[in-house]
Chains A and B, each alone.
Chain A
Amino acid sequence: MIGLEEQNQLFLLMGQKLKRKIECYVIGGSAMLYYNMKSATKDVDIVFDKEEDRNEVIKLLREIGYSERGIKVEVIYVKKKNVPVLLQKDDTRIDLFFEKIITTRLTDSMKDRIRQVYDFANLTIKVLAPEDIIFLKCATERAGDRVDAVNILKKVSVNWNVISEEAQLQTKLGEHLFPVYLFDFLYELKEDLKAEIPAGVLREIRKMAEDLLEEKLGRKEKKRKPGKRKVH
């Protein structure tokens, strides 16, 4: 586990050792530390938008004693070129992503919504907005992520429009049905963890998910029966 102080010391050390300016984004538990929503996190999650920046940070972390974690990421991300790099030194684990976090892309809209920026010498850390932290957590299956999302909802007023618009945007960018994941995730939060989510928001996201599913299924049906046409 790593707290805010240790995380800052790590970033400062990285920033002082880097030879040129590098920008990156923190997500998940690491971002929650800056919002004072969590006291410690299991791993530091960093996203880069330039691959050469990530490579330079990986090289630097290896120099200061970090090594690959014993997980074969290729097994989880089969046939994927862009896989995260998972490093570890003692108790500290660092996950380094490039552009994509599992299935979600780091979009320009997410970058525009950043709430905090920290300059650690040559390393600039940008903290994603709480709405985006929740959104990134909806595509995972971990129980801890649901608890984190409830904690965020307790501490800030979330702009639900931002979350639903991001779900639509992410669906346009990739093949995943984000509104469906989002509805499942939020429904679970409301029913099981008693999170305060307005019924109207759930209704709207459900409608969006249903429309999207109908659209996708309709397209598949059309693909299966190419010869059949309606006769007027």
Chain B
Amino acid sequence: MKESIEQVLRKLEGLNTLDLVQKKLNIRKSTAVKKLCQLRKLGFVETSGGGKQPRLYRVSRLKIKKTGNPGLYDIINQNSPIKLVKPYEHRIVGRKLSIEEGIVMAVKTENFRVVLAALALFNKIRDWSRLYHYAKKEGVRRKIGVLYDVARAVIRVRRMPKKTRKLLLRAREKGRHIIPLIKAKDFLDISREWKIYVPFNKADLARYKE
């Protein structure tokens, strides 16, 4: 007997791989692919992964209708080798989130994983004065400077103009912690120069070298 869309969605709701869909619906691989394709066209399926990572299908009983433009987690996942699980769907309405604003936003979250994953965004910066503008607005100029130096010590990043560096170094802001109460033992010279505690040890950044 043919199952209704509602029944299929109930069975598949959540995160699936192609194998899992085959097992849950007891169908052949080609039929599973067709089913997922149909559901995606109807707006019930979102795909992610592929390539080296397994292809994942997120099935929801609600039609996924996205408002606005990609938010912080989407920007990081698009541009960083370290991927993040979204704690919530973040969207920006009325404008697009730039890489520069994304870095500042990541620092403002004060979340270890988010800041770690955001280091890769330094290689995508196009407008350094825009980065400075957002950093000044949010009061995180020194933190941005120290994270840039840490990123440069581990991964390939674009060179920061001397003018921006000078301006960032000149900033007088409160607070020495990027992540509250976290102070690592590595990168002490960078930490001393910017007067900000680096939250990462070298081992934390090893994932960038994999």
Contact = CB atoms under 8 A, between A and B. Distances in A.
Interface in B75-96: 88-95
Contacts of A121: 94-95
B124 interface: no
Interface string B153-188: 000000000000000000000000000000000000
Interface in A99-125: 114-121
B105 to A, nearest CB: 9
A115 B93 contact: no
Interface stretch (B64-72, B114-122, B190-198, B201-209): B64-72
A37 interface: yes
A114 B90 CA distance: 11
A119 B67 contact: no
A28 interface: no
Contacts of B63: 36
Nearest to B91: A118
A4 interface: yes
Given A35-B62, A156-B61, A117 B91 contact: yes
A66 interface: no
A161 interface: no
Contacts of B13: 157
Contacts of A119: 68, 71, 90-93
B88 A114 contact: yes
Interface string B42-67: 00000000000000000001111101
Contacts of B68: 8, 118-119
A187 interface: no
A117 B61 CA distance: 20
A8 B62 contact: no
A59 B88 CA distance: 30
Contacts of B61: 155-157
A116 B88 contact: yes
A15 B67 contact: no
Nearest to A5: B67
Contacts of A118: 67-68, 91-93
Given A34-B67, A155-B61, A155-B62, A120 B88 contact: no
A155 B67 CA distance: 19
A167 B65 CA distance: 31
Nearest to A113: B88
A36 B71 CA distance: 19
Nearest to B60: A156
A16 interface: yes
A118 B61 CA distance: 22
A8 B65 CA distance: 14
A48 interface: no
A117 B63 CA distance: 18
A111 to B, nearest CB: 11
A35 B94 CA distance: 19
A11 B93 CA distance: 9
B62 A120 contact: no
B90 A117 contact: yes
Nearest to A116: B89
22 contacts: A8-B93, A11-B93, A12-B93, A16-B94, A34-B67, A35-B62, A36-B62, A116-B88, A116-B89, A116-B90, A116-B91, A117-B71, A117-B88, A118-B67, A118-B92, A119-B92, A119-B93, A120-B93, A126-B88, A156-B61, A157-B13, A157-B61
Q: Which 5 A-B pairs have the closest CB atoms?
A: A116-B89, A119-B92, A12-B94, A117-B90, A120-B93
Interface of B: 13, 61-65, 67-68, 71, 88-95
